[in-house]
Amino acid sequence: MNGDFLLSLPAALDCEVLVVGSGAGGCMAADALAGAGADVLMIEEGPYVPQSAMPKTSASEVQAMWRGGGLTAAFGPVPVAYAEARCVGGGTEINSGIMQRVPDALLEEWARIHALADFGADALRPYYDKVWAELVPAAPPETGPPGRVAGLLQLGAQRKGLRHEALVRAADGGRRHSMTATLLPRAQARGMRLVAQCEARKIIWKRGAGGRAVVRGVEAHATGPDGQRRRVHIACKQLFLAAGAIHTPALLRRSGITENIGNSLRLHPVLKVLADFGEPTGAMAERVPLAAITEFMPSLRMGGSVFTPGFFGMALAENWRDRAALLPRHRDCALYYTMARAQARGRVRPLPGMAEPLVRYAPTDTDRAALARGLESLAGALLAAGARRVIPSLAGHPGWDSESAIDAMRIMESAPARAQMMAIHLMGSCPMHGDRAQGAVDPFGRLYGFKNAVIADASAMPEAPGVNPQATVMALAARAAASWLAVRGQSV
């Protein structure tokens, strides 16, 4: 698709609105803009892989659709592996599609702490409602009782007196409502142009009158059907950046735009546990366990995790000597996680001559203590549900077979490097704030100091939300698009 498009065009393109990135935020904004009649061009660094052509195995999916083949990490005293999509549709093509709203109380706290005008629960509710109307079935089909993995978590929570809830997924009849299945084709039907395998390398801008700069376009590298990379100049009147919490700040900094950019990356660090129940769990078939312990929200959340041969093997490899015996009994096992709304702030910096930026992140003592508390609560619930042994993602750990043996807090304090942390939610690297001195964008995603640039992805979130961020990213992108449309024609 993108190859034919490039062959028929010169190395210079132009549009009214250029959207960089095709994930949840980019597609939400692009669909709204195209629906209002704007001339929208979207570029995406990765390939176009529709659900009908999705790879059949996890390994091939990771190679085709994940950045770095799934091997990306933030460096620090305790490295944190993180996952990023690199394909049309972005993270919506590889994530679980779980939809959650930031709790009203936390939205109000953000509005107060970050001086965000016209923000908070009431201001964002219409945009959340729009997201739900687009992606979440109005009347989800009856599915009967939860799968066994989710059911065991709920049972353990009940026995421990912990609040828990079922999770809502952007899916219908097992078909995930990703961007390539929903908003993207509709935006294209409305006239939006898409160029896949086209990477934005530099924003072209100049200083304007009144001290506000003006974006003139983007220099990009596009791969044609012959596999050759070409330089493409894309002129635009308005720029919407939606390349994600790592690559939006990297692109801005490569372009000489650095004020409050890439200095405040937030994560939801995750530690997993492998539970051995001594009887079949059905974990392989239960692709997305839709239940979570919410007793400690938004600071902590615990839930069921996807169980694949690869993830199972990684858990065994953390202590092969003690865990190898579980290999032939994989049907008796399941994976769970604890996730913290961490307070640490990481950095994103592009490196000259390097394709990927350098990401640094160091969880605070408070963050590690929160994860330890999460591990202890989760392990207690799983043991209460009948698990024979619960094994945390702590290198070399033999696991716990009773609540009295749980020692997560001691280990996280004395040997934090043993923690095998990962993250799938990245945000806050170009945060919104009402004060330009403290933020990169205003409450509507408009880039400070620029007349015609908006950030419409997770990098604009002021903090980590403690819930899956996709719905919030889309709500903020819809709000940013509506704000721009209200003053369309005045941006340049």
**Lookup: tokens for 343:** 């307070």
Residue type, 408: A
As a whole number of angstroms, the distance between CA 377 and CA 389 comes to 14
Pick the catalytic residue: 330, 397, 425, 433?
Answer: 425
Q: Read out DSSP for 226-242? A: TS-EEEEEEEEEEEEE-
293, 377 in Cβ contact below 8 A?
yes
Q: Read out DSSP for 72-85? A: EEEBSSS-EEE--B
340, 377 in Cβ contact below 8 A?
no
Residue 287, phi-psi category: left (phi > 0), alpha (psi -120 to 50), beta (remainder): alpha
Q: Is 425 a catalytic residue?
A: yes
Q: Read out DSSP for 340-370? A: E-----BEEE--TT-SS-EEE----HHHHHH
193, 42 in Cβ contact below 8 A?
yes
Q: Read out DSSP for 425-458? A: -EE-SS-B-SSTTT-SB-TT-BBTTBSSEEE-SG
Q: Give the dihedral sign, CA 440/443/449/451.
A: positive
To 10 degrees, the CA torsion angle through 427, 429, 432, 434? Answer: 140
End-to-end CA distance of the chain: give it in Å, rounded: 32
Closest of 328, 312, 309, 318 to residue 275, by C-alpha: 312
Closest of 185, 172, 77, 162 to residue 132, by C-alpha: 172
- Residues that are catalytic: 425
